[in-house]
Structure 1
Amino acid sequence: MNETRQAVLESLEVGPITGPDIAAEIGISRAAVWKHVEALREAGFEIDGTGSGYVLGDVSGYTGPLIEYGLSAPFSIEYHDTLSSTNERARELATAGAEDVVVVAGVQTGGRGRLDRKWSSPEGGIWLSTVERPSIPPARAPAHTIAAAVATTNVAREVGVDARIKWPNDVVVPADTDVGYAKLAGILTEMEGQTDRIEWLVCGIGINANVDPSSLPEGATSIRANAGAIDRRTFLQRVLERYDDARRDLSGTIEEWRDRTMTLDRRVRVIRSGEPVVGTAVDVTEYGGLVVDTGTDRVVISAGDCEHLRPA
């Protein structure tokens, strides 16, 4: 949102206020005030014209400007009603030099997760991808997945969902299923870089928010199913704010991850380079690698498919 439009919004916040008063306060013409007010209305802001002036009304809609409004994190928002993939669009922006942009879609038609698996992304969910240029070595990139998982889990807990983290990239809810959980959210982190530095990093987060459970694949759940419908705009803002905090303190975030995971102290099978590693998950490294005690050795796994096993 440009600075002048932001200034108009700030004037409206203390309304009712007349167009001439806004013009004098900001230093623009009355005609310019009217154009900005109309643009804000088109962006989803409810602005009523009364005898006493303009009054800012409901701001709970789900558009780019509304998501940016009140967001306490240094991200700009690019919103699409429908998009094939937010990660795909984020990679395009990253290649073009963008930084700290968040691509948000109302619906994804070609969403995907790890290993190119299809990710169901219907209306009512929260589908986003961040574009970042962190000053960390490539080996630390998985810690951003950890940060996103912690942020999503914390905000889900704020609205009453018993969210936990399953290594490497899932937010889950304990459930009476064969695996002991149902999937609430997934994270896909991609990057481009050189040996010693990251050129860009894209962190995709898909959250089953106000999604009817009947429209989700088997083994998945939603916030709506666990705690009722939420305000997606507010929830997304909180996730971005929590994520911004977490990415600035990756070491501290690892400690939070340990407190919120359901993978540690569990018997697991992790497929790494086509070969299974079976043992007890005992820790996670500062780079996000899973430490598995096989009984004869401790193996650090940086990436792989992790399955929780029943106790031996």
Structure 2
Amino acid sequence: MQETRHRVLDALAAGPVSGPALAEELGISRAAVWKHVEALREDGFEVESADSGYELTGVPEFGGAAVEYGLDAPFEVEYHESIPSTNARARDLAADGADDVVVLADEQTGGRGRLDREWASPSGGIWLSVLVRPDVPMAHAPVFTLAAAVAVTRAAREAGVDAGIKWPNDVLVDDRKLVGILTEMEGEADRVSWVVVGMGINANVDPATLPTDAEPTSLQHVRGDPIDRRVFTQRVLETFDELRGDIDSILPAWREYATTLGRRVRVETPGGTVEGEAVDVQFPGSLVVDTDDGEVTVTAGDCDHLRPV
């Protein structure tokens, strides 16, 4: 959203304010004020006109402008009703030099997860990709996947859903998948050029519409009523922004919400199967497994939680 439109919106929220007064306050013409007000109405904001002036009386349920309104994080939000992939769009924006952009959609038609697996993304979910350019080496980039998992888990718990994190990139409720995270990046060995963190959040969707092999669930299903997607998205972005500014805080927060630590696991890695008790996660996101042959550090793989022997 344009900076001037942001200021118009803030003034309307504190209103009522007359067109002439708003024009004088912002240093723009009365015609420009009217155009901004009409643009806000087109975005779904309810702006009433009365003798006392303009006043904001309603905020849209979802969308880019709605999420930006009141967002305490420096992200520009690009919204799509439907898009093949928010990650693909974010990669295109990265190639154009963009930074601190969120691609948000109500529906994805070609969503993908890890290992190019299909990720169903029906209307009613929260499908978003965050494009950032952190000043870190490429080897540190996986920590932003952990930050995203923490951000979503905190937002879910604030919404009354007791979510936890399964290594490396899933957020679960009662061992059912609520969120998948896919991180992509580009850069040189010593420096990241960009990182795109994609989050597929099963928000107000029916789990029956999702792939059964993932044993999915949704925020709405667990709560018994829909969540406010605008507020939920804002909380995810605000927490992610807070964590990326304090990288040392990410691992302790991840450990707090981890469901994998202390569990017996089987991890399928490129080098073979690792089985044992998950005892820790090390920066930037490696899992430490205590096996019969000693501790093994796993940097990537598919992790299954095993039932106690």
TM bucket by the smaller chain?
Answer: over 0.9
* 1:235-250 equivalences in 2 (<5 Å): 235-250=232-247
For each residue in 1:42-101, what CA deviation from the matched residue of structure 2 results, as whole angstroms up to 9, or x when unmatched?
111111112221110111421211111110001100111100000000011111111100
User: Residue type of the partner of 1:223?
Assistant: L
8 A Cα contact 2:134 2:192, kept in partner: yes
Structure 1 spans left out of the alignment, 5+ residues:
175-180
* 1:55-66 equivalences in 2 (<5 Å): 55-66=55-66
Q: Over aligned residue pairs, what C-alpha RMSD do you find?
A: 1.1
For each residue in 1:244-287, what CA deviation from the matched residue of structure 2 results, as whole angstroms up to 9, or x when unmatched?
11112222110111111110111111111162111111100021
Alignment equivalent of 1:252, drawn from 241, 249, 253: 249
Distance 1:215 1:117 in 2: 16
* 1:131-150 equivalences in 2 (<5 Å): 131-150=131-150
8 A Cα contact 2:17 2:52, kept in partner: yes
* 1:1-312 equivalences in 2 (<5 Å): 1-174=1-174, 181-218=175-212, 219-227=215-223, 228-273=225-270, 275-312=272-309
- Aligned-pair CA distance for 1:220: 0.2
Distance 2:294 2:119 in 1: 35
* 3-state SS in 1 of match to 2:186: strand
User: Residue type of the partner of 2:247?
Assistant: L
TM-score by length of 1: 0.96
TM-score by length of 2: 0.97
Other-structure match for 1:177: none
Same amino acid, percent of matched pairs: 59
User: Residue type of the partner of 2:92?
Assistant: E
Distance 1:240 1:134 in 2: 15
8 A Cα contact 1:45 1:61, kept in partner: no
8 A Cα contact 1:83 1:108, kept in partner: yes
User: Residue type of the partner of 1:288?
Assistant: G
8 A Cα contact 1:60 1:231, kept in partner: no
For each residue in 1:207-235, what CA deviation from the matched residue of structure 2 results, as whole angstroms up to 9, or x when unmatched?
00111222122210000011121110111
- Aligned-pair CA distance for 1:32: 1.0
Distance 1:28 1:99 in 2: 28
User: Residue type of the partner of 2:220?
Assistant: R
The answer to which of 194-203 and 22-31 deviates more is: 22-31
8 A Cα contact 1:186 1:207, kept in partner: yes
- Aligned-pair CA distance for 1:121: 0.4
Distance 1:90 1:185 in 2: 19
The answer to which of 270-279 and 157-166 deviates more is: 270-279
Distance 1:168 1:25 in 2: 50
8 A Cα contact 2:99 2:132, kept in partner: yes
User: Residue type of the partner of 1:183?
Assistant: K
